[in-house]
């Protein structure tokens, strides 16, 4: 993960967008405080869709069922 200030983001927006499209994640800081993360659309959809989370919950249920038998 790379860090970038809001000022640098303004001046390097095209480069940062290309990096994000290629899979890089940026932490955006304003006055030394983290205010946002830039991630690809694909990664965002995975997070919002919860497909990874759903699989994790299914795995946990299988483990719990095995333990409770």
Please report which confidence band the pLDDT of residue 68 belongs to, taking 50, 70 and 90 as the band edges.
Answer: low
Domain that holds residue 25: 1-38
Count of beta carbons in the 10 Å neighbourhood of residue 55: 10
Token pair listed for 64: 């719990």
Give tens-digit pLDDT for 7-61: 999 999 999 999 999 999 999 999 999 999 999 998 888 777 766 677 777 777 8
How far lies 35's CA from each of 14, 49, 51, 67, 69, in Å? 20, 23, 26, 42, 47
Comparison of pLDDT for 1 and 56, the residue scoring more: 1
Whether 26 and 1 map to the same domain: the answer is yes
Residues 2 and 21 in one domain: yes
Encoded tokens for 9:
């983001």
Total number of domains in the chain: 2
State whether 12 and 32 are in the same domain: yes
CA 52 – CA 29 distance, rounded (Å): 28
């Amino acid at each position: 993960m790379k860090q970038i200030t809001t000022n640098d983001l303004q001046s390097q927006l095209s480069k940062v967008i290309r990096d994000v499209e290629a899979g890089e994640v940026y932490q955006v800081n304003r006055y030394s405080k983290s205010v946002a993360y830039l991630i690809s659309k694909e990664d965002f959809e995975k997070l919002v869709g919860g497909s990874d989370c759903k699989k994790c919950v299914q795995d946990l249920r299988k483990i719990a069922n095995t333990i409770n038998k």
